[in-house]
């Protein structure tokens, strides 16, 4: 079981969570952050620091956000728009990889409106 990030992060991407992740498993898409389920150690350090309360442990995801379980995994297992291959189950750490510049097709099509400048 791993943590994942829901739609409250879309167009916000505060990134406070990335500074406390001991295994560097929070990756940056274009509009949202994603937690790699293969790298997450379930420590929960990220959850209380999320200012928009977008982080959930997989077993406690509200029904309205059940889509996020498969979508979060798809970020790593499916080729993203503009990329020929998936990132893979262990791409090597978010800091080394840097921003991905793409999201899952589902997140890419979510309506905007919450966008604020990323810091």
* pLDDT one-digit tens code per residue, 14-35: 999 999 999 999 999 999 999 9
Q: Integer distance in angstroms from the first to the last C-alpha of the chain?
A: 30
CATH of the domain at 61: 3.30.70.20
Q: Is residue 99 part of a domain?
A: no
Side-chain-side CA neighbours of residue 82 (13 Å) = 8
**Structural domain includes residue 105:** no
**pLDDT over 60 at 114, yes or no:** no
Cα(115)–Cα(8) distance, rounded to whole angstroms?
11
The stretches of 45-109 forming alpha helices (DSSP H) are 67-77, 94-97, 105-108
- Tell me if 118 is assigned to some domain: no
Is residue 114, in this structure, part of any structural domain at all? Answer: no
Residue 107 lies in a domain: no
pLDDT value of position 118: 40
Return the H-helix or E-strand segment holding 3. strand 3-5
Q: Tell me which DSSP letter residue 80 carries.
A: P
Q: Supply the pLDDT for residue 36.
A: 93
Q: How far apart are CA 61 and CA 85, in angstroms?
A: 28
Contact by Cβ (8 Å): 94, 85: no
Of 88 and 114, the one with more pLDDT: 88
Overall domain count for the chain? 1
The string of pLDDT tens digits covering residues 48-58 is 999 999 999 98
Asked whether residue 38 is domain-assigned, the answer is: yes
In which domain, by residue range, is 7 found?
3-80
Q: Is residue 27 part of a domain?
A: yes
Supply the pLDDT for residue 91. 80
pLDDT digits (tens, 9 = 90+) for 64-111: 999 999 999 999 999 999 999 999 887 878 988 899 999 999 999 988
Question: Which H/E stretch holds residue 34?
Answer: strand 33-35
Does residue 11 lie in a domain region? yes
């Amino acid at each position: 079981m791993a943590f994942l990030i829901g739609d409250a992060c879309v167009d916000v991407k505060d990134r406070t969570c990335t500074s406390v992740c001991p295994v560097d498993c929070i990756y940056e898409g274009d509009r949202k952050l994603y937690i790699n389920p293969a790298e997450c150690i379930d420590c929960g350090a990220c959850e209380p620091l999320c200012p928009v309360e977008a982080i959930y442990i997989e077993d406690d995801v509200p029904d309205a956000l059940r889509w996020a379980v498969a979508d979060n995994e798809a970020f790593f297992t499916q080729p993203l728009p503009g990329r020929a291959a998936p990132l893979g189950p262990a791409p090597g750490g978010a800091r080394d990889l840097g921003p991905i510049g793409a999201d899952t097709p589902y997140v890419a099509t979510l309506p905007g409106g919450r966008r604020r400048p990323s810091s």
